[in-house]
């Protein structure tokens, strides 16, 4: 499976500021996703990060709030903009479809624990 | 109706027993199904995948799929205290996205 490095691992931020989370994979992958896991909840898909084009957002998530970049097949960023305490959550990068592999399994990075004061 | 439904638990079983975790899904065209284990404070870890009707065994784990009933389950034999975690059922939907259930908390008592 791919090795997925995500940083920062945790951060405490002030209301109104923005935080950019980075996700680096050790091999090229076809698909990268960003999930959110709020306290005591399951995973909710925020968006699919598309290489070289705008991300595809799920219902309830918008680009102005969660801008995403994916400049190549191994790297993506998620920005949480104009944060409020409701954005306190774990944000998870996930990847699927390693180039040259035949599986469609989804693997997760270690996550970013975000607390907004 | 939620796309993927699981009993939140907690499910408590004694050490050495079989733990049975269940999941139902709403999208009839789903073809791929996954079970993840998540320890507190950690990210989900893939433990099983299943694509065809029937049983698939991997060590102490057995995944069971019944597409006609839209039902997938995970059996853990000889449960150990280290199996205590939240188990997430995930289903592949149209567009290669995985939709997750809310998870079932499993507690194995020694």
Look-up of token digits 């219902």: A59
Q: Which of B2, B41, B42, B44 best probes binding to A when mutated, by most A CB atoms within 10 angstroms? A: B44
Cβ neighbors of B71 (< 8 A, separation 6 or more) are B22, B23, B24, B25, B65
Q: How many CA atoms lie within 13 A of A94 on its CB side?
A: 28
For residue B27, give the 3-state DSSP assignment: coil
> What is the band of B45 on the pLDDT scale with cuts at 50, 70, 90?
very high
Q: Kindly determine whether residue B98 and residue A107, on different chains, have CB atoms separated by under 8 Å.
A: no
**What are the CA-CA distances from residue B49 to residues B19, B72, B93 (Å)?**
18, 11, 15
Residue A19 clears pLDDT 70, i.e. is over it: yes
Q: Kindly determine whether residue B43 and residue A92, on different chains, have CB atoms separated by under 8 Å.
A: yes
- Model confidence over B46-82: pLDDT tens digits? 999 999 999 999 999 999 999 999 999 999 999 999 9
Q: How many residues does chain B have?
A: 110
- The interface residues of chain A toward chain B in range 69-108, judged by CB-CB distance below 8 A, are 90, 92, 96, 104-108
- Model confidence over B4-17: pLDDT tens digits? 999 988 999 999 99
Structure confidence at residue A111 (pLDDT): 96
Q: Kindly determine whether residue B97 and residue A48, on different chains, have CB atoms separated by under 8 Å.
A: yes
Structure confidence at residue B12 (pLDDT): 97
Structure confidence at residue A8 (pLDDT): 97
- Model confidence over A22-46: pLDDT tens digits? 999 999 998 899 999 998 888 999 9
Q: Kindly determine whether residue B100 and residue A96, on different chains, have CB atoms separated by under 8 Å.
A: no
> What is the band of B95 on the pLDDT scale with cuts at 50, 70, 90?
low
Check CB contact of B20 with chain A, cutoff 8 Å: no
Average pLDDT, chain B: 93
Closest to A34 in 3D by CA, of A99, A83, A85, A79: A79
Check CB contact of B101 with chain A, cutoff 8 Å: yes
- Model confidence over A81-96: pLDDT tens digits? 999 999 999 999 999 8
Q: Which residues of B touch A107 (CB under 8 A)?
A: 46
**What are the CA-CA distances from residue A85 to residues A90, A92, A114 (Å)?**
13, 18, 10
Residue A52 clears pLDDT 90, i.e. is over it: no
Check CB contact of A109 with chain B, cutoff 8 Å: yes
The string of DSSP letters for B31-71 reads --EEEEEE-TTS--EEEEEE-SSEEEEETTEEEEEETTTTE
- Model confidence over A57-90: pLDDT tens digits? 999 999 999 999 999 999 999 999 999 999 999 9
Check CB contact of A42 with chain B, cutoff 8 Å: yes
């Amino acid at each position: 499976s791919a090795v997925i490095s995500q940083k920062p691992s945790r951060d405490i931020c002030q209301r109104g500021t923005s935080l950019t989370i980075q996700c680096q994979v050790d091999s090229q992958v076809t698909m990268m996703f960003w999930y959110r896991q709020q306290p005591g909840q399951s995973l909710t898909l925020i968006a699919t990060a598309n290489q070289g084009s705008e991300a595809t957002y799920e219902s309830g998530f918008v680009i102005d709030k969660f801008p995403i970049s994916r400049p190549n097949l191994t790297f993506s960023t998620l920005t949480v903009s104009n944060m409020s305490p409701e954005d306190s959550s774990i944000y998870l990068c996930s990847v699927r479809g390693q180039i040259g592999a035949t599986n469609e399994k989804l693997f997760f990075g270690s996550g970013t624990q975000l607390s907004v004061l | 109706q939620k796309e993927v439904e699981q009993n939140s638990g907690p499910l408590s079983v004694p050490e050495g027993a079989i733990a049975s975790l269940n999941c139902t899904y709403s999208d009839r065209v789903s073809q791929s199904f996954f079970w993840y284990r998540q320890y507190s404070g950690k990210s989900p870890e893939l433990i099983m995948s299943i694509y065809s009707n029937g049983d698939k065994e991997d060590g102490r784990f057995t995944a069971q799929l019944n597409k006609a009933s839209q039902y997938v389950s995970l059996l853990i034999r000889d449960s150990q205290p280290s199996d205590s975690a939240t188990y997430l059922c995930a289903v592949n939907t149209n567009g290669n996205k995985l939709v997750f259930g809310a998870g079932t908390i499993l507690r194995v008592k020694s």
